[in-house]
């Protein structure tokens, strides 16, 4: 009897796992953003069955994607043009101020340049309000005064269920026009003669961003060092 019962529950578990894998591997669609004004066009891969919502503003449009069964799970992206030159740190501080309006408790998990995509800046936040705790992760691309910020967020308890979809979306974000890539990305693309990932290059980047803190290097200094190494 126990053998039959165990077999029944095993089959049910396999069905649940198969359904979860299917949901995680739904085909992604590439969304192409058409600018309203002078903000940069961009592209991003999003799950094919998610709902899209657009919020227009004075400086571009915020585009939000979410699954029909859970609007608390979100992919959000916007592009805009800075009125004057600003550092990445300044832009991140403004993002933090915006987040704090909706989440009284705000904790920065980390901020850093991406190891896999040098020139792309990553942040991860733990957010909390009356509805509970949330995880938010975002990437920032900057080309002179043109900025793209994409973020993903979900309740902390279920964030892991969407991790594959989230990482795919964040990794896919880029300028639609190749001529408007960030300066770092242009330099890397021009140097690549192979499509394969360079472990050595990434380890050098990791060293520069995580080890020599005693030199008190600014983010711009570290980024310039990476560019110099890649050009050698």
DSSP characters over 107-149: EEEEEEE-SSSTT-EEEEEEEEETTEEEEEEEEEEEETTEEEE
| Residue pLDDT, tens place only, 74-111 | 999 999 999 999 999 999 999 899 888 889 999 999 99
The pTM assigned to this predicted structure is 0.67
In contact, 221 and 213? CB cutoff 8 Å? no
Helix (H) or strand (E) holding 46: strand 42-47
pLDDT digits (tens, 9 = 90+) for 31-63: 999 888 889 999 999 999 999 999 887 777 899
Query: How do the domains of the chain map onto residue ranges?
Result: 28-177, 185-231
CATH number at 28-177: 3.40.1000.10
CB 150 within 8 Å of CB 143: no
Angle, helices 199-210/219-231, rounded to nearest 10 degrees: 150
**Distance, CA of 70 to chain centre:** 20
């Amino acid at each position: 009897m126990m053998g039959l019962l165990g077999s029944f529950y095993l089959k049910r578990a396999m069905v649940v796992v198969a359904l979860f894998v299917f949901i995680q591997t739904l085909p992604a669609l590439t969304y192409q953003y058409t600018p309203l004004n002078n903000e940069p066009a961009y592209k991003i891969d999003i799950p094919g069955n998610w709902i899209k919502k657009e919020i227009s503003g004075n400086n571009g449009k915020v585009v939000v994607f979410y699954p029909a069964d859970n609007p608390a799970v979100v992919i959000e992206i916007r592009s805009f043009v800075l009125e004057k030159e600003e550092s990445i740190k300044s832009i991140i501080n403004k993002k933090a101020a915006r987040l704090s309006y909706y989440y009284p408790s705000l904790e920065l998990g980390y901020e850093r340049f991406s190891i896999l995509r040098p020139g792309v800046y990553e942040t991860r936040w733990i957010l909390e309000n009356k509805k509970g705790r949330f995880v938010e992760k975002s990437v920032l691309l900057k080309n002179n005064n043109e900025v793209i910020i994409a973020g993903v967020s979900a309740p902390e308890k279920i964030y892991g269920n969407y991790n594959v979809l989230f990482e795919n979306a964040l990794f896919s974000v880029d300028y639609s026009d190749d001529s408007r890539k960030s300066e770092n990305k242009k330099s890397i693309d021009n140097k690549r003669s192979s499509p394969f990932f360079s472990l050595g290059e990434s380890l050098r980047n990791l060293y520069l961003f995580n080890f020599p803190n005693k030199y008190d290097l600014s983010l711009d200094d570290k980024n310039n060092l990476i560019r110099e190494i890649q050009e050698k």
